Amino acid sequence: MNMVLLQAATAAQGQNQWSFWIMMILIFVVFYFFMIRPQQKKQKELLKQREAMKKGDKVITAGGIYGEIKEVQDNAFIITIAKDITIKVDKGSVYASAEDAQQAPKTDNK
């Protein structure tokens, strides 16, 4: 009698273990499709936007400085922020200004 109860308890424990792993996989899938994937798409779009920036584009830095691109380098932009005042800013901290973003044609790949 005790052996039958022990086998039943072991079978139930094995089933609980499988349901735990299935639940963990489902949670990961939900996180991937609702959090990770949209963030990756946003990062790719931002990178493509930065690569398309050229001399004369109006930009905003991550620090909130408005300016116009004077020169494009490998990993940086030379930005004019006032008459005869230029700064060198890393490409990772530059965003297109709201004016240029509204004028640029939108491409939606949905």
Phi-psi bin for 97: left (phi > 0), alpha (psi -120 to 50), beta? beta
pLDDT digits (tens, 9 = 90+) for 66-94: 999 999 998 999 999 998 999 999 988 99
What pLDDT was estimated at residue 22?
92
Number of domains composing the chain: 2
Q: What does the alpha-carbon distance between residue 78 and residue 30 come to, in Å, rounded to a whole number?
A: 42
The CATH number of the domain where 72 resides is what?
2.30.30
pLDDT of the residue at 16: 77
Q: Is residue 110 a part of any domain in this protein?
A: no
Whether 87 and 62 map to the same domain: the answer is yes
Q: DSSP labels for 5-68?
A: HHHHHHHHHHHHHHHHHHHHHHHHHHHIIIIIHHHHHHHHHHHHHHHH--TT-EEEETT--EEE
Q: Are residues 46 and 65 in the same domain?
A: no
Distance of alpha carbon 106 from alpha carbon 109, whole angstroms: 10
